[in-house]
Amino acid sequence: MLASTDVLTWWGHMAHGLRSATPWSIKCISECCKAWALIVLHSGHYSKIFKRLMGTTCSLKWREAHEKERHWIVNPGHPIVDGLNEYIEIPAHEMYGEFFDVPAPDETVFIAWYPGG
């Protein structure tokens, strides 16, 4: 299955520190990410592999807002958004904001918007 993979999706929420990442698992995922696109969802920004790949703390601002979250597509020519409408809306979600301690992106595909800022 992995041989036919172009994009790896990583989702995480809690307990990132409960399992230790072995040197082998870090190297394996790091090498695989050279060949794949990686999309890290929700609180996966705090996973060991994402922090390792980014080389930063990956800290960010957030709050329990339970308000809608809208992701505007700002790069409609990007293949990951092919066939999508101009935005994706999540009815009730926590709010993520800046500063997000990651390197500057190669491309920006989405910009998030929240009613409360």
Question: Do 51 and 64 belong together in one domain?
Answer: no
Q: How many domains does the chain have?
A: 2
Task: State how far the alpha carbon of 81 is from the alpha carbons of 5, 29, 85, in Å.
Answer: 17, 24, 8
Which of 13-17, 56-60, 79-83 shows the lowest mean pLDDT across its residues?
A: 13-17
Report yes or no on whether pTM surpasses 0.85: no
- Nearest to 108, CA basis, from 53, 59, 71: 71
Question: Do 51 and 87 belong together in one domain?
Answer: no
Which of 1-10, 63-72, 93-102 shows the lowest mean pLDDT across its residues?
A: 1-10
Average pLDDT of the segment spanning 64-73: 88
Q: What is the pLDDT of residue 82?
A: 94
Domain that holds residue 83: 59-117
